[in-house]
């Protein structure tokens, strides 16, 4: 593959992007091209991306996109016109239509058109969870239950292959240190936006904090998020090494999202030995398995009762760390991803 390269486009650079680059770079040249999430900047970035794709065209072997959306339209078009493979990794919001909570690509007319065009005309779709392909959603009863690509694009014919995320368990590990009793942690970005905070389940976390003043909660990822509860600590984005230490100082990890694909932070925290507590959406039940608690519906009483039982009645749960090592390892994802990309 040397001499030719993969162009990797995405709306914003994340740890997920960095991990994929780490997997692919030893076997192929890959060029990351960041797009934008700003509607105001869209016209400029379309022009910029077109010029970038044109400039790199002679050296491009294939296109890879993280999520479907505005940023994937031109790579898909270039792939069709110039006979090059274009793969889209579906990650969550690109497979969701939840106007009730202001979430999902399909709730906006032009973003929906861009997303549908991309998925219909790309070569291969690689969702990170089965739930993104097709699901009968039931966690929040106010939301349309028909979610996932095949429900939202019924005539979709593009080949789909699910490849779950993978974690470097040599890095994300239990350090064997003492953890603060009754301590809970959750990680999410953009939560200073109220609708985003609700999507990530922060409304439930705030209720828990109010109900249990002797429990401590740490919310990581957006320093601008505000909590009125004194037992809630808010921290901004953190370097992986600092996040590793923080996971290891907490007993429980909360992933109470209304919608998710495959949440990275949940897997990281479990690999570090946190007991997981999550909602029955996306890949969360599959990730947690029998190592923690999965809440079937957005019901605070159910959540509170199960948590109180968990913290007050010590019981031996299967190792969350071992579950990540067994089912969601870095090596498993790398093998499947490289095979899907024919590398």
Q: What is the pLDDT of residues 278-335, one digit of tens each?
A: 999 989 999 999 999 999 999 999 999 999 998 887 567 889 999 999 999 999 999 9
CA atoms of 343 and 337, how far apart (whole Å)? 9
User: Could you write out the DSSP letters of every residue in 166-228?
Assistant: -B-TTTS--------TTEEEEE-SSTTSHHHHHHTTHHHHHHHHHH-TTSEEEEES-TT----
Whose CA is closest to 87, among 6, 2, 5? 6
Q: Write down the mean pLDDT value for the chain.
A: 94
∠ CA 204-106-200, nearest 5°, is 15
Task: Report the pLDDT value the prediction gives residue 251, as an integer from 0 to 100.
Answer: 95
All structural domains of the chain: 5-166+329-340 (3.40.50.2000), 183-327 (3.40.50.2000)
> What strand order describes the sheet that includes 159-160?
29-34, 5-10, 60-66, 85-89, 124-125, 159-160
Residue 114 pLDDT > 80, yes or no? Answer: yes
Average pLDDT of the segment spanning 268-284: 95
Tokens of 88: 């889209």
Q: What is the pLDDT of residues 13-28, one digit of tens each?
A: 888 899 899 999 999 9
User: Could you write out the DSSP letters of every residue in 262-279?
Assistant: --HHHHHHHHTTPEEEEE
Task: Report the pLDDT value the prediction gives residue 1, as an integer from 0 to 100.
Answer: 45
pTM over 0.95: no
């Amino acid at each position: 593959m040397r001499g030719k390269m993969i162009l990797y486009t995405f709306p914003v650079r994340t740890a997920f992007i960095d991990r994929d680059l780490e997997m692919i770079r030893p076997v192929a040249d890959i060029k990351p091209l960041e797009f934008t999430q700003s509607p105001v900047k869209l016209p400029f970035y379309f022009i910029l991306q077109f010029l970038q794709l044109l400039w790199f065209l002679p050296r491009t072997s294939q296109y890879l996109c993280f999520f479907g959306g505005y940023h994937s339209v031109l790579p898909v078009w270039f792939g069709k016109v110039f006979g090059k493979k274009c793969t889209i990794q579906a990650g969550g919001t690109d497979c969701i239509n939840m106007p009730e909570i202001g979430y999902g690509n399909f709730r906006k007319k032009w973003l929906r058109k861009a997303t549908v065009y991309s998925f219909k005309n790309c070569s291969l779709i690689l969702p990170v969870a089965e739930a993104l392909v097709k699901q009968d959603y039931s966690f929040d009863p106010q939301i349309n239950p028909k979610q996932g690509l095949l429900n939202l694009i019924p005539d979709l014919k593009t080949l789909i292959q699910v490849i779950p995320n993978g974690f470097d368990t040599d890095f994300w590990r239990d350090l064997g240190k003492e953890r603060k009793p009754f301590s809970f942690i959750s990680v999410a970005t953009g939560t200073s936006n109220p609708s985003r905070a609700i999507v990530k389940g922060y409304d439930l976390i705030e209720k828990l904090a109010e109900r249990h003043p002797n429990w401590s909660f740490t919310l990581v990822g957006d320093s601008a998020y505000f909590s009125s509860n004194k037992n809630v600590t808010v921290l901004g984005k953190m370097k992986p090494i600092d996040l590793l230490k923080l996971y290891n100082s907490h007993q429980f990890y909360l992933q109470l999202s209304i919608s998710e694909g495959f949440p990275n932070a949940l897997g990281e925290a479990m690999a570090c030995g946190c007991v997981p507590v999550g909602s029955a959406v996306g890949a969360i039940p599959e990730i947690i398995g029998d190592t923690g608690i999965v809440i079937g519906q957005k019901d605070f009483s159910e959540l509170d009762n199960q948590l109180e039982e968990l913290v007050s009645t010590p019981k031996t749960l299967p190792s969350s760390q071992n579950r990540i090592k067994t089912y969601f390892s870095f090596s498993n994802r790398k093998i499947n991803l490289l095979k899907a990309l024919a590398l």
